[in-house]
Amino acid sequence: MNSGNLQTPIDYLKGVGPNRADLLRKELGIHTFGDLLNLFPNRYIDKTRYYKINELQQNSAEVQIVGKITHIKSVAQKRGKRLVADFVDETGKMELVWFRGHKWLKESLKINEPYIIFGKINWFNGSFSMPHPDMELLKEHQKNMLVAMQPIYPSTEKLGNRGISNRVIIKIIQQVFLENKKGFLETLPQSLRKELKLISKTEALFNVHFPQSAEKLTQAQFRLKFEELFYIQLQLLVKNRLRKQKIKGFVFEEVGEYFNQFYKNFLPFELTNAQKRVVKEIRNDLGTGAQMNRLLQGDVGSGKTIVAFMSCLLALDNKFQSCIMAPTEILATQHFNGLLEWCEKLGITIELLTGSTKKSARKIIHENLESGELHILVGTHALLEDKVQFQNLGLAIIDEQHRFGVAQRAKLWKKNTIPPHVLVMTATPIPRTLAMSLYGDLDISVIDELPPGRKSIKTVHRFDNNRLKVFRFIRDEIKKGRQIYIVYPLIEESETMDYKDLMDGYESIARDFPMPEYQISIVHGKMKPADKDYEMTRFANGETQIMVATTVIEVGVNVPNASVMIIESAERFGLSQLHQLRGRVGRGAEQSYCILMTGHKLSNDSKTRLETMVKTNDGFEIAEVDLKLRGPGDIMGTQQSGVLNLKIADIVKDNQILKTARFYAMKLLKDDPNLEEKDHKIVRYTYNLIAKDKTIWNYIS
């Protein structure tokens, strides 16, 4: 059969009709035969065994039994009536019970005809009963395709209420197979199927809906998951390759004076092996003549900034300007202050441009940028304004890229006739599995070791009734000259309640740490930006010892003297948020601590999150656990949730299959970049069909 038939609207399938078609479209998004075949079962019920009534056990298993109805009666109960039927086989008797649909049932149930019933068993007052059984006349049952394991499909309340039961969905999917006796178009090349021992597309589809055995089901699921992930990876890889072919980049041939001088004389510490590896990867990219598009992942404090700065020096050695763009003014200022000292030593001009840069200063920055006198510009979204024109921008570095939209990045590109090289940095570890699927078209570098001299942060979990001990610990740390963060959750839905928690907390801390001996800063979302900055600056300058805040301090405040992070109601935070908050301490040479405070009532997920935090400081390990708990949609934040609209594969559980699929997609493109070989024609055909469906993958960077 050609795949054209799979594009046939479901209205034309026997047994569907306009009303059902409309419901299936609205409720499950099923428009065509193909969509119907891609409605994969959630679970399966083993119907290989028929029970006798005298074999029934007092458990809640679902069973099927062959027997006859001998008698039907209505029984009054507190509310309305129930319909009860006596059901017998040669070994005994039980009851079938219905609480609704009496009239229709009374008319349709046949007395003394052999039925197959299926459902959950109840044991009550010494006898078995089955409420609302699935029923089928034995002769009908024998006529239908015999299936060892019955599929249970995703459904909605509306479908159930409108009579589209699981049985009905099974029937219409069987109909698709009956109408396409010749089978379905193969989508994977013969050679690949042979190497991985994959069953054919037709066999896989049939066995995923109507498994002939548990083994066949496993083979079918593997084949379909592999195919789905294989085509996703193929799209990403092709996109990456096209970008490299189409988008030319400046060639940075020179490793010159600036880079070498900094490396020899001004490096504040020996680079870790991970940093050296990443610098090398970036240098290679910058020399190829294609535009660099690299994602640099590194945990909080792993030293991404120095790698970014060295990349700017490479640009400068090749007579190009660079810019570093950060999502907030605090972060941009921090980058600027961090780089200023090195730039002065090397005789490099660097400026900061944010929303609060004064007009007179802006004018000078604009002029020096255009004349080429200004080498590095650090800033916020202000860099994107049309007035900001570079003489020759060669490298754009974007920090915490998930905070910037695609349109904003495109603006940066337009600052030059040839787009600059792009280095995207993030301290939010994206699990490798997810990175492969979401940023498969970016080249990825990871800094996975901390600089020497950094002590790892000690994390403990304490219950609310230990608060006095925790306060005693805070006093001791303040005596040593350290500073403390105390963070309260902020969850938009309950903002007023959260605000009250924050204020109550602030008052109790102010009582326990009275002025003038102690000074406390407070920062929350209801404050004016100027007031927030004022409080942050006081804390950063050491004028206050305790910072009470909501999660606004998550990204980028750098106070090396702060050594304790206390997170209140820690069970209300997600894992990645807890990890980001913890990363605010441990920036100096002193031992730092993170204390997770909770009540005694904790869900299993909360327990897992807290145990993970206490056990490890590795952001990637934490991200993997987070992915298992939350699923891929959530991790990328709401703006990208639902991106991985996978039909059968699961990025977390099918991690191995994903890696295999990526490996074979890479191999295929390496051996036959344009998919011209005879064996690969079906790949090209399938690829083009999927590519036509514009909904997938267009959001990627």
Amino acid at 8: T
Taking all residues of the chain, what is their mean pLDDT, rounded to a whole number? 85
Give 639-672 pLDDT, tens digit per residue: 333 345 678 887 767 878 988 999 999 999 999 9
| Same domain? 22 vs 53 | no
CATH number of the domain that 110 lies in?
A: 2.40.50.140
Of the residues 600, 616, 632, which one is the last residue of a structural domain?
616
Tokens of 420: 């600059």
- Segment among 17-21, 121-125, 557-561 with least mean pLDDT: 557-561
- Segment among 8-17, 297-306, 677-686 with least mean pLDDT: 297-306
Provide the pLDDT for residue 198: 96
Number of structural domains the chain divides into: 4
Q: How confident is the model at residue 701 (pLDDT cuts 50, 70, 90)?
A: very low
| Residue 646, domain member (yes or no) | no
Of the residues 367, 402, 426, which one is the last residue of a structural domain?
426
| Same domain? 408 vs 494 | no
Q: How many CA atoms lie within 13 A of 138 on its CB side?
A: 10
| Residue 557, domain member (yes or no) | yes
Taking a C-beta distance cutoff of 8 angstroms, is the pair 540, 310 a contact?
no
Provide the pLDDT for residue 693: 62
| Same domain? 497 vs 568 | yes
| Residue 623, domain member (yes or no) | no
Give 245-296 pLDDT, tens digit per residue: 877 888 888 888 999 999 999 988 889 999 999 999 999 999 888 888 898 9
Look at phi and psi of residue 642 and say left if phi exceeds 0, alpha if psi is from -120 to 50, else beta: left
Of 4 and 149, the structure prediction assigns the larger pLDDT to 149
Of 150 and 592, the structure prediction assigns the larger pLDDT to 592
| Same domain? 335 vs 314 | yes
Q: What is the mean pLDDT of residues 110-132?
A: 90
Q: Which residues of 208-217 are buried (b: 16+ CB within 10 A; e: fewer)?
A: bbbbeeeebb
| Same domain? 15 vs 55 | no
The rounded distance, in Å, linking the Cα atoms of 219 and 216 is: 5
Nearest to 189 by CA among 239, 234, 237, 236: 234
| Residue 226, domain member (yes or no) | no
The rounded distance, in Å, linking the Cα atoms of 252 and 170 is: 61
Q: How confident is the model at residue 433 (pLDDT cuts 50, 70, 90)?
A: low
Provide the pLDDT for residue 486: 93
| Same domain? 474 vs 582 | yes
| Same domain? 269 vs 388 | yes
Structure letter (DSSP) for residue 522: E
| Same domain? 32 vs 90 | no
Give 606-635 pLDDT, tens digit per residue: 999 999 999 998 887 888 788 778 765 544
| Domain span holding position 384 | 257-286+303-426
| Residue 269, domain member (yes or no) | yes
Tokens of 313: 């020096």
CATH number of the domain that 269 lies in?
A: 3.40.50.300
Nearest to 206 by CA among 173, 164, 166: 173
| Same domain? 118 vs 196 | no
Structure letter (DSSP) for residue 266: I
| Residue 676, domain member (yes or no) | no
Give 98-116 pLDDT, tens digit per residue: 988 888 888 889 999 999 9
The rounded distance, in Å, linking the Cα atoms of 50 and 310 is: 72
| Residue 469, domain member (yes or no) | yes
| Residue 648, domain member (yes or no) | no
| Same domain? 547 vs 481 | yes
- Segment among 168-182, 324-338, 540-554 with least mean pLDDT: 540-554
Provide the pLDDT for residue 145: 58
Verdict on whether the full-model pTM lies above 0.75: no
Of the residues 594, 616, 638, which one is the last residue of a structural domain?
616
| Same domain? 340 vs 395 | yes
Nearest to 202 by CA among 226, 218, 169, 180: 180
| Same domain? 470 vs 565 | yes
Provide the pLDDT for residue 540: 86
Taking a C-beta distance cutoff of 8 angstroms, is the pair 171, 179 a contact?
no
